[in-house]
Amino acid sequence: MNTIAQRLKEVRNQIAAACKEASRDPADVQLLAVSKTRPVAEILEARQAGQTEFGENYVQEGISKITDLAEHKELVWHFIGPIQSNKTRDIAGSFAWVHSIDRSKIARRLSEQRDDSLPPINVLIQVNIDQEETKAGVLPAEIRSLAEQISSLPRLRLRGLMAIPAATADDTERERSFASMQSLYLELQAQYDHIDTLSMGMSDDLFAAIKYGATTVRVGTAIFGSRPSDKNN
């Protein structure tokens, strides 16, 4: 069985190949290891293989890992799951990045609850690019308004957009979604400083996401192996 280190190497090779195909520099694409439901020992194994960016979907689980690994100051923790209002204080106190901002109330609470001793939280607006009724995220037409509100908040730093396109076996439809996200990202980048992150693409669609400008890809299964309760990784 492949080790986590071997799987990480393979994913990095895939990113490099996708970047070569898209005439992009691999250094411009960050690998975010989705570590939800994975034990601390596996995160440490990934760290030993050079991985420092980790994404968590569940607040208390994520905070437990951050606490257990507090001595590893080099680790950067991203919250990538849906956010409930009663969890914003915990998120604001523990995570460096939040990928899933989809309403102004959550943004305001995160800013108000971020300690002044900590740097501003890097945040992304989650976009419901395929307008799925059951999926979180703002509609494309709502990005501008939410971006304006986030930009006025002192303890947040707007960095870009995130999306989870609809699950589909149709490569053309998937690429259309990624292309739409790239256009929205470029529009936002033209309006604000510090817009440098387009978070999209997971284990099975790295090539398409990177083709359309992803700067962060979120990979879980291809790094840590399959698990009984995989969701959105």
What's domain 4-224's superfamily in CATH?
Alanine racemase (3.20.20.10)
CB 111 within 8 A of CB 155: yes
pLDDT for 233 equals 41
Domain spans in the chain, listed from the N-terminal domain onward: 4-224
pLDDT by position in tens, the chain (length 233): 589 999 999 999 999 999 999 999 999 999 999 999 999 999 999 999 999 999 999 999 999 999 999 999 999 999 999 999 999 999 999 999 999 999 999 999 999 999 999 999 999 999 999 998 888 999 999 999 999 999 999 999 999 999 999 887 688 999 999 999 999 999 999 999 999 999 999 988 999 999 999 999 999 999 999 865 544 44
CA distance 158 to 197: 9
pLDDT value, residue 14: 97
What single letter denotes the amino acid at residue 3?
A: T
pTM of the predicted protein model:
0.95
Residue of 10, 27, 26 whose CA lies nearest to 18: 26
| DSSP sequence for 50-119 | T--EEEESSHHHHHHHHHHTTT-TT-EEEE-S---GGGHHHHHHH-SEEEEE-SHHHHHHHHHHS-TTSP
